[in-house]
Structure formats: C-alpha cells, structure tokens
C-alpha cells in the first residue's frame, strides 16, 4: 500500500473493527471485556513461546500487562479505548508498503540475477550472459489461460487473484507472471516468518506484501486482517488471496476453501456501491500455479501424513527457510528446461458468476445480469452478513471448480499417481502408513506394467467431461517419454528419489513423494478401473 494511503487505511481498519465490536456489544453485558480477555488469553499462549528479548515481544508483553491490570475495573468507555489501542497495534503490524522505485528495481534486476544464479553461472561468465540477461526468467515462467481476458478487466475494476497454494515460491512466481502480463502489481498477505530474511524482507516489505502472523489466533486479530483486506480492495489495490489458506500439505489441488478473507470481496463490493465509487466492481480471477517439483514437498507430505497440519499451522523449518536449498532446487529444475506454469481461469464476479471482457456479469445461460441487485434492498446497497456468507460459499465453489479446470497435470503427477495405484493393487488391504513405510510385498514393478498404468491414467484424464490441462510432454502421448521425463525430475533435487529405473524395472524409493505428486490428480473421477488413492 502506498504511503499516502497507509494512514487512511489504518484509521479505517481501526475504527471499523472497534465499531463492529462495540455494536455487537449492545445489550450484551461483558461482551467487550470478553473480547479483550480472549485476546489476552490467546496472546499469552503465543508469547510463552516467543523470545523474551525480542523487541516486539517486549512491546506486546508491556501492552497486555497494562490491559490485564486495568480490565477488571475498566468502564465500558475505557474498555473501548483499550480495544482501540490493541487494534491499532495490530493494524500497524499488518499494513503493507509499496514503493514504485523498489518495484522497478525488483522486476528488472531480480529476474536477471536469478537467471544467472539458477543457470549456475560463475562471475567470470557474467559478461557472456547477454542473451540470458535479456530473456531472464521469462523462459521458465509460462503464463497461460485467460490472459487477455484478465488484462481487459484491469481498468474496469479491481482484480482479486485467487491461486492454488503449494509452495512459498508461489507469491514471487505469481508476482512475476503478473509482471510479464503487464498487469499492475498485487498486494497480498505473507507469513510473518518470511520477513525474517533481511533481503527478502526488504523486497516483500516494499512490494505490497502485508504481514500475517498465523500464530495470532485471537478473534480481534483475525478481524483486523479481514478489514485490512477489505480496505485494500476498496482503495483499488489489486490483491492476491490464497483461498486454501496454508500450503496444500498433501500436494492436492484445493477443493474445500477457507472463506474468511474471501468473504471480504462481497463486503468491499457493497461498500464501494454505498460510497458511490466510479469503479466498484471486483473481479475474482482463479488461477493455478503448477510445478513439476515442489520445493517443500518432503516436509509438506511428512507433515500431512503425521496429521499435525492443524497443530503446525505454520511451518518455519522447511526447505524454503534454507537459501541454498532454494538455489539448488531452482538450478536443477531449470537445468532440464522445466517450466513453472501459471494458468488463469475465467474471471468471476464476487458472487461466482462469470464475467465477460467488458466486466459484465453473466448468468448460467450467458445473459447479462446486474450484480448490484444481489446486495440491494429497495434499490439501495445494504450489508447483510448472513446473505453475504451464502454468496461467499457460492464464490468458493466456483473457484474450486475453476481449479480443477485449470490445473496443469505434469509428468511427475501422472507417474506418481500411477505408481501409487500399482502399489495399492499389489498390496490389497494393507494399512496406508504401513504401505508407505515398507513398500509392501514388491520393491519394484516391470517397466511394461508402469507404462500400461500410466497409459490408463492418461486416457482416464483425457476422457473426463472437463479434462484438466496437460503439459506438452503429456499432450504428445508418448508414454515411455512421459515416464522418463518424470524420473529425470525425481532424480535432480529431492534427498531421495521418489522412483528410479534400474534395467527394465522401476523401483519405488520414496513413496511419500509419489503420493504427494500423485495427489495432484485427486478430485478427478478417474473411474473404478484405476486404483483408489492411498
């Protein structure tokens, strides 16, 4: 958010959140005290795990200590003042900055610098890298789908891009894809842990990222996040939400989406109408980010299988926290000329209706409808939380369906799914975790059997009423080449190959990874001829 808008946003967020709680307290004795007590309780638990010498921790301890001492005897007006003080503190922590100068430097220099690093170039070779410098990362980030449709809507309203989420690389990858499209930059929420690296923090802190501390579980803090997101949309900042919330631990394409921040789109649209803004429309753009390999796959699938995703809502010690692992991952991936594919779906209005290139909402029959009527009563736009929740549910369903349509299946997904299916069929009735741990009765399969299973899965995907997109090697349909391509990628990065060929047999070595990559196909009805997911 640009500096000229920051104070305005801080005032709006603080006043709206506090006014909302004060209004909810009408006729409910002790309500505000309960909100403050809830905040003190959850924050007390969080601060017990924090470094006591950290300046932010010290500041919060001092603030909460003072609130705790006053709360028991505080009048309703004083409770409101205390609530305002904490809310403002949260808002100041959350607010993101945007600097046009940093954006220009980042988009011009960062891709070129990364290209040199990712190609493994030494400093002595920099002088001979002119072509590479000109092409930058453009060679490796493939942008597909409704690109022109999305670009046509930029000047007609505010974009809300809603991608799938499988890696902490998603935000910079999507940001670069947006840059390649010629679309203005997006503001987005980024985990507070990503700001611990000084260099990364500088760029993120000046490119529109606002801080989200997922360790804060208080209702008040979540209200601040939602209101900040709402204000950013109202101020016309094109935004990015990950509706799946945290990264997909199991590798799947998200189908059940979290609706907290997503619901702010309907609210911001209604507020825009009430304020009489010239361009009130908010266009929701589903998109998928597709990798042949996922940087944090080993940690994510381990966390998924341990069923501690809820307890470890945020992972701070995965591969993304190790710069050399990131460099190694990208260098190896690009050495095979692999593409990261960002595919945009058809834009929607905030109610889940498709919109055309002129920003007009369409009903299922393709007829133009006026979205203002969805939020109007007696001709005037009004807020209705229960009604808006239903609209948000419908929007989430539309985004989830778009994910399935716009998912790009990679060779690693297809082979991971096929080998996992072979494993289950070879070990009927075996417990999932035992099968993944031991590999069952067979340590390998004949290549002919693997090829046959890959062929069956590929045909099942192509036979779907709405088949997903396929990367080029899958489109060509050469099954041995598909398997070879997947095995080459499995071999270049992970600490243990997911699978490898020895002679005429394929050995499954890391079944967790095979499950992770194969899970990208979960959610498609591939028929009973294929083995069920492990």
**pLDDT tens per residue across span 310-367:** 444 445 556 555 556 665 665 656 666 678 999 999 999 999 999 999 999 999 999 9
Q: How far apart are CA 451 and CA 155, in angstroms?
A: 49
| Total length of the chain | 534
C-alpha dist (Å) from residue 189 to 212, 360, 443: 6, 28, 44
Count CA atoms closer than 13 A to 303's CA, side-chain side.
22
370-421: pLDDT as tens digits: 999 999 999 999 999 999 999 999 999 999 999 999 999 999 999 999 999 9
Q: How far apart are CA 233 and CA 187, in angstroms?
A: 9
Q: How far apart are CA 384 and CA 362, in angstroms?
A: 23
Of residues 304, 232, 275, 335, the one with CA closest to residue 2: 232
Provide the pairing of β-strand 408-409 with 469-470. Answer: parallel
Do the Cβ atoms of 250 and 309 come closer than 8 Å? no
324: how many CB neighbours lie within 10 A of its CB? 8
- The pLDDT score that the predictor gives to residue 219 is 95
C-alpha dist (Å) from residue 305 to 3, 14, 299, 397: 44, 40, 10, 26
The DSSP symbol for 126 reads: G
For residues 251, 253, 256, 261, the Cα torsion angle rounded to the nearest 10 degrees is 90
- The pLDDT score that the predictor gives to residue 35 is 96
The per-residue pLDDT of the chain, averaged, comes to: 86
Helix (H) or strand (E) holding 178: helix 170-181
Which residues make beta-bridge pairs with 286? 162
Between 245 and 285, residue with greater pLDDT:
285
Q: Which two tokens stand for residue 301?
A: 């699938």
> Which residues touch 309 (CB under 8 Å, ≥6 apart)?
246, 249, 303
In the chain, the domains with their CATH numbers are: 3-94 (no CATH), 147-186+238-322+345-406 (no CATH), 409-521 (1.10.10)
Do the Cβ atoms of 412 and 489 come closer than 8 Å? yes
Does the pLDDT at position 282 exceed 80?
Answer: yes
Do the Cβ atoms of 306 and 183 come closer than 8 Å? no
Q: Which two tokens stand for residue 35?
A: 């909100």
Secondary structure of residue 188 in the 3-state scheme: strand
425-468: pLDDT as tens digits: 999 989 888 999 999 999 999 999 999 999 999 999 999 988 99
C-alpha dist (Å) from residue 525 to 10, 398, 460, 462: 47, 18, 8, 11
Q: Which two tokens stand for residue 163?
A: 């991608």
Provide the pairing of β-strand 469-470 with 340-344. Answer: unpaired
242: how many CB neighbours lie within 10 A of its CB? 25
This prediction has a pTM of 0.85
Angle between helices 219-234 and 3-24 (to 10 degrees): 130
463: how many CB neighbours lie within 10 A of its CB? 10
Task: Return the residue matching tokens 């069923």.
Answer: 307
Q: Terminal CA-to-CA distance of the chain, rounded, Å?
A: 44
Of residues 481, 518, 470, 521, the one with CA closest to residue 144: 470
Does the pLDDT at position 115 exceed 50?
Answer: no
5-49: pLDDT as tens digits: 888 999 999 999 999 999 999 999 999 999 999 999 999 999 999
429: how many CB neighbours lie within 10 A of its CB? 6
Does the pLDDT at position 116 exceed 70?
Answer: no
Q: Which two tokens stand for residue 131?
A: 């072509």
Do the Cβ atoms of 79 and 32 come closer than 8 Å? yes
């Amino acid at each position: 958010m640009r500096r000229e808008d920051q104070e305005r946003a801080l005032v709006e967020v603080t006043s709206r959140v506090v006014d909302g709680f004060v209004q909810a307290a009408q006729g409910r004795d002790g309500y505000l005290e309960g909100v403050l007590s809830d905040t003190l309780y959850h924050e007390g638990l969080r601060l017990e795990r924090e470094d006591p010498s950290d300046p932010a921790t010290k500041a919060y301890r001092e603030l909460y200590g003072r609130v705790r001492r006053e709360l028991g005897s505080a009048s309703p007006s004083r409770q409101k003042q205390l609530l305002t003080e904490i809310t403002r503190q949260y808002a100041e922590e959350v607010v993101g900055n945007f600097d046009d100068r940093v954006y220009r430097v980042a988009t011009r220099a960062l891709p070129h610098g990364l290209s040199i690093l990712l190609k493994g170039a030494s400093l002595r070779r920099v002088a001979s890298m002119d072509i590479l410098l000109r092409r930058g990362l453009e060679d490796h980030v493939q942008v597909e789908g409704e690109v022109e449709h999305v670009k046509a809507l930029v000047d007609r309203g505010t974009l809300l891009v809603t991608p799938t989420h499988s890696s902490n690389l998603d935000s910079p990858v999507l940001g670069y894809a947006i840059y390649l499209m010629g679309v203005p930059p997006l503001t987005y929420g980024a985990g507070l842990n990503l700001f611990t690296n000084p260099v990364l923090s500088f760029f993120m802190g000046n490119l529109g990222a606002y801080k989200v501390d997922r360790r804060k579980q208080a209702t008040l803090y979540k209200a601040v996040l939602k209101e900040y997101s709402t204000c950013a949309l109202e101020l016309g900042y094109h935004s990015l939400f990950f509706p799946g919330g945290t990264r997909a631990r199991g590798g799947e394409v998200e189908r059940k989406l979290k609706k907290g921040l997503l619901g702010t789109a309907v609210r911001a649209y209604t507020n825009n109408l009430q304020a009489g803004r010239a361009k009130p429309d908010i266009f929701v753009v589903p998109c998928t980010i597709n990798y042949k390999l996922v940087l944090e796959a080993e940690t994510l699938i381990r966390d998924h299988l341990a069923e501690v995703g809820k307890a470890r809502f945020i992972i701070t010690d995965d591969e993304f926290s190790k710069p050399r692992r990131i460099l190694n991952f990208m260098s190896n991936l690009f050495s095979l000329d692999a593409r990261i594919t960002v595919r945009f779906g058809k834009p929607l209005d905030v109610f889940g209706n498709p919109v055309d290139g002129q920003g007009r909402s369409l009903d299922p029959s393709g007829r133009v409808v006026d979205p203002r009527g969805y939020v109007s009563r007696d001709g005037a736009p009004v807020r209705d939380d229960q009604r808006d929740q239903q609209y948000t549910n419908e929007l989430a369903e539309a985004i989830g369906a778009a994910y399935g349509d716009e998912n790009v299946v990679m060779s690693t997904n297809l082979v991971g799914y096929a080998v996992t299916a072979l494993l289950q069929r070879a070990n009927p009735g075996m417990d999932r975790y035992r099968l993944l741990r031991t590999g069952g009765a067979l340590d390998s399969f004949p290549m002919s059997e693997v090829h046959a299973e890959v062929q069956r899965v590929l045909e099942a995907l192509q036979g779907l009423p709405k088949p997903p997109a396929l990367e080029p090697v899958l489109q060509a349909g050469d099954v041995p080449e598909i398997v070879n391509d997947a095995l080459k990628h499995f071999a270049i990065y992970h600490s243990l190959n997911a699978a490898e060929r020895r002679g005429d047999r394929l050995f499954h070595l890391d079944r967790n990874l095979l499950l992770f990559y194969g899970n990208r196909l979960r959610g498609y009805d591939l028929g009973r001829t294929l083995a069920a997911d492990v």
